[in-house]
Amino acid sequence: MTNHIVLYQPEIPQNTGNIARTAAATDAVLDIIKPMKFEITEHNVRRAGLDYWDKVKLVFHDSMDDFMATMAPDAQLTLITKFASRTYSDNDYADLNIDHYMMFGKETTGLPEPFERAHADECLRIPMTDNVRALNLSNCAALVIYEALRQQDFAGLEKVHTYPHDKLK
């Protein structure tokens, strides 16, 4: 079983960087569906001081069709969108025998409406007021991946961390 954070055509490098850190911390795969509004290059990563990129399991897809073709038939796809009647916490992520793909749209326009409509049963939302258009993409990704991990009893993650000096005793 693998958890995947899927970004559809990300536009803001800082959001993608934050999500990459979350993916590294949670051992999730970061799937990016192109095109992107920026490039992830070794120079840019080093310049930003991002010392965790070598820990990110990063997969690029040339299109939505390319991405969909890579998913196993038994994988669970969830689309995070404001146009859904169920919330992200209503979903069952507990099955450790399948891959879970949590897809997020681009920062300005979200996921393509025809794609959302074709996958209406897989659409989930994060409850919020109508005071803002949307939540920050990296916050949404962290919220949803950690809900999935909570339901999976944080499998594979370190639940307790000791102070370095305690290990010397």
Q: Enumerate the known binding-site residues for S-adenosyl-L-methionine.
A: 80, 105, 126
**Which runs of E-coded beta strand occur in the chain?**
3-8, 29-33, 57-61, 76-80, 86-87, 100-104, 123-125
List, as residue ranges, the binding site.
80, 105, 126
Question: Do the Cβ atoms of 19 and 13 come closer than 8 Å?
Answer: no
The DSSP H or E segment spanning 26 is: helix 13-26
Q: CA–CA separation, 43 vs 85, rounded Å?
A: 42
For tokens 């010392």, what's the residue? Answer: 51
Strand order in the sheet with 57-61: 57-61, 29-33, 3-8, 100-104, 76-80, 123-125, 86-87
Both tokens of 70, joined, read 């890579």
